[in-house]
Amino acid sequence: MSNVIPFEAPASSLQTGSKTYLTPSLRAALETPAVGVVTDEGYVMRPGVWKPPAVVTADMQRDAAQAMGALKLRGGPVSPQKAQEWVAHLALRCNGSQLPPETKLAGAVSDILRSGYPAAIFEDDEAFDRVSRKFRFWPGWAELSEALDAERSRLRDEWSRLSAIAKGGQQTPRPAQQDDEPTGPRAMSEATQKLMDEYWAKNGGRPAPRGMAAATDARRMEG
């Protein structure tokens, strides 16, 4: 039985969506402001420091609270099926008809699930566009995880900004990441582990760890 997940070219577009839970005024309030800076290259615009609106109406507080509820529903780990669909479409965007080997696509799905990325990243067409624009060819996991980590950080910023607006403009500082904080794969929750076990059971079994597979290949070559 093969351990490789079959990846066929999707017949339809990726089923994501825009953030319909954000009203136009709320979306504008969440935007990071741009500030002008004089550099050696001249006058350039760079991201500034976000602050809540000077006036937060009761309607904005209500909309922010509702948006937090919608975002929370999307905060759980992405499903194996959604991760596979997203990876397949990213491969098409990066490589066109020349898709990467199926083992690379299956490995990307496994890494995404193991890292516990929230479903909200993979249900947002704007996030997909931001990630796909970073690559002309299929990326390695180091590059892809960096792009996905940036999207996870965006979601955390969105949550904290919505929370500030829902509280009438009171900001709660995000704790800074410690220098010695591990940056490798996150520990999987029981829910993510269960999803992965069900996924591999339906798709021919879990692939061997990459290091183990390399060692097996080496032994075969020696034989």
Question: What pLDDT digit, counting tens, does each position of 174-223 carry?
Answer: 555 544 443 444 555 666 666 666 666 666 666 555 444 444 444 444 44
Give the mean model confidence (pLDDT) for residues 116-123: 95
CB proximity list for 205: less than 8 A, separation 6 or greater: 1, 3
CA-to-CA dists, residue 53 to 32, 146, 162, angstroms: 12, 31, 11
Least confident of 23-32, 93-102, 137-146: 93-102
Res. 67 pLDDT band, cuts 50 70 90: very high
Res. 39 pLDDT band, cuts 50 70 90: confident
Please check whether residue 167 lies inside any domain of the structure.
Answer: yes
Q: At what angle do helices 80-95 and 102-115 cross, to 10 degrees?
A: 130
Please check whether residue 83 lies inside any domain of the structure.
Answer: yes
User: Where does residue 12 fall: left (phi above 0), alpha (psi -120 to 50 degrees), or beta otherwise?
Assistant: beta
Structural domain count, the chain:
1
Residue 91: predicted pLDDT: 92
Please check whether residue 124 lies inside any domain of the structure.
Answer: yes
CB proximity list for 100: less than 8 A, separation 6 or greater: 91, 138
**Share of residues in the chain with pLDDT > 90 (%):** 53
Euclidean distance between CA atoms 212 and 218, whole angstroms: 10
Please check whether residue 11 lies inside any domain of the structure.
Answer: no
Q: At what angle do helices 141-166 and 58-73 cross, to 10 degrees?
A: 150
pLDDT digits (tens, 9 = 90+) for 142-186: 999 999 999 999 999 999 999 999 999 876 655 555 444 434 445
Please check whether residue 217 lies inside any domain of the structure.
Answer: no
Please check whether residue 12 lies inside any domain of the structure.
Answer: no
**What is the residue range of 131's domain?**
24-172+187-203
Statement: residue 92 has pLDDT above 70:
yes
